[in-house]
Amino acid sequence: MSWTLILHGGAGQMTRDTVSQAQAEGARAALGRALDAGAAVLAADGAALDAVEAAVRVLEDDPHFNSGRGAALTHAGVAELDAAIMDGRNRNAGAVAGVTATRNPVSLARAVMANSPHVLLSGAGADAFSVEQGCEPATQDWLVLPERRAQLDEMLEGGGAFDVDMKYG
């Protein structure tokens, strides 16, 4: 039996005019590392669930993508993160929304699935659950990049209108 792994790092107004060579190459390299992380699980006959978590963790840690470190910021300048994971074997699922202090939200979502009777936890409660579960913490200093702060400032200077297509990366 074979295995397959597919990743995305976000879709949007990405053309050779809007994405710098450095950004594109950095993102390609990170996607390659994420493929390798997931493939290491699958090639060892591991579970798809472990593979997708391993791959997403790499992308959350990489600053080129809107997740984890390098996430887009709220109007108030906070990195508020969302994540979900789901197992096709039994349709078990875990998700978190609006978490602010966990390095890898996808692993927190998995902890919700594995160690709670719930599917979705949000906000301060989800942050507290993360501490109880011993998920690796992250400060806003770790999560927030200067480029993201600049993008937010640019938006706020322009009136800060919420534009569903205003998506950076």
Partner 1 sequence: TVGAVACDVHGHVAAATSTGGVTGKRWGRIGDSPLIGAGTYADDRAGAVSCTGSGEFFIRANVAHEICARVRLAGETLEAAVETVLAEVTALGGTGGIIVAGPKGEALWRFSTPGMYRARLDSAGGREVAVFGDE
Q: Does 111 bind partner 1 (CB under 8 A)?
A: no
**Exposure of 22 by Cβ count < 10 A (0-12 exposed, 13-18 middle, 19+ buried)?**
exposed
Nearer to partner 1, 25 or 132 (CB): 25
120-139 residues near partner 1, rule: CB under 8 A: 120, 122-123
Residue list 136-165, contact with partner 1 (CB under 8 A):
148, 151-152, 155-156, 160, 162, 164-165
Which residue of 24, 114, 124, 128 would you call a contact of partner 1, by CB under 8 A?
24
Cα Rg of the chain, angstroms: 17
Whose tokens are 């978190």? That residue is 96
Rounded-to-integer distance, Cα 10 and Cα 123, Å: 23
Q: Answer for the pair 47, 38: CB distance below 8 angstroms, yes or no.
A: no
Among 8, 22, 134, 146, binds partner 1 (CB under 8 A): 8
Count other C-beta atoms under 10 Å from residue 54's C-beta. Answer: 21
Q: Count the alpha carbons within 13 Å of 121 in the hemisphere toward its beta carbon.
A: 23
How many whole angstroms separate alpha carbon 147 and alpha carbon 79? Answer: 13
Using rule CB under 8 A, residue 166 touches partner 1 = yes
How many residues at the interface with partner 1, by CB under 8 A?
88
Residues 34-73 that bind partner 1 (CB under 8 A): 34-35, 38-39, 42-43, 45-49, 51-53, 55-56, 59-60, 65-68, 70-73
Q: How far is the CB of 134 from partner 1 (least distance, A)?
A: 19
